[in-house]
Amino acid sequence: MTDFCLSRPMLERVLRHAELMDSMMERVGVDAAVAARVDRGMAWYEARTRCIGCSSEWECRDWLARAEIDVPNEPPGFCCNAGFFEPLQSRAEGTLATSSPSPSSPPSFGSMEDPHDRSITPPRPHQAVR
């Protein structure tokens, strides 16, 4: 007996949906490197998982075939990752995901800071518990 998640059809689905998500990010103007750093990678992982489980593969393929290539587009309403893509979109007119991210406009959700990095803020002095 084989594990369903390791079967050939499931592997092919994962790869197809990963390719669709990558193409969608390009068309909506999302830099994959920036997206992968949101919430230390967890937001990316969750978005990838939503995409793999999405049942709108044919709508996605059709939208990608019709979407303009040279300008960022709004994510389509059927996309389960529209909420993930929107805050990450390049807002500069005519720029796509291949442009460098703007350091002044980080995504509006999740934390990209390492909570264990003490070089950012000094530790608080120890306070006695009463």
pLDDT at 123: 45
Q: Find the domain containing 10 and state its range.
A: 4-88
Q: Is the residue at 96 inside a domain?
A: no
Q: What per-residue string of b and e applies to 95-111 under the rule 16 or more CB within 10 Å gives b?
A: bbbeeebeeeebbeebe
Q: Is the residue at 124 inside a domain?
A: no
pLDDT tens digits, the chain, 130 residues: what are they? 455 556 888 899 999 999 999 999 999 999 999 999 999 999 999 999 999 999 999 999 999 999 888 778 899 999 999 999 999 987 534 444 444 444 444 444 544 444 444 444 444 555 555 5
Q: Is the residue at 101 inside a domain?
A: no
CA-based nearest residue to 91, from 73, 115, 108: 73
pLDDT at 68: 85
Q: Is the residue at 102 inside a domain?
A: no
pLDDT at 126: 53
Paired tokens of 126: 């120890």
pLDDT at 95: 46
* Residue-by-residue DSSP string for 9-73: HHHHHHHHHHHHHHHHHHHHTB-HHHHTTGGGGHHHHHHHHHHHH-S-HHHHHHHHHHS-SSS--
Q: Is the residue at 119 inside a domain?
A: no
Task: Give the bridge partners for 30, in sequence order.
Answer: 89
Q: Is the residue at 107 inside a domain?
A: no
- CA–CA separation, 9 and 13 (whole Å): 6
Global pTM value? 0.65
The domain total for the chain is 1
Q: Is the residue at 26 inside a domain?
A: yes
Q: Is the residue at 62 inside a domain?
A: yes
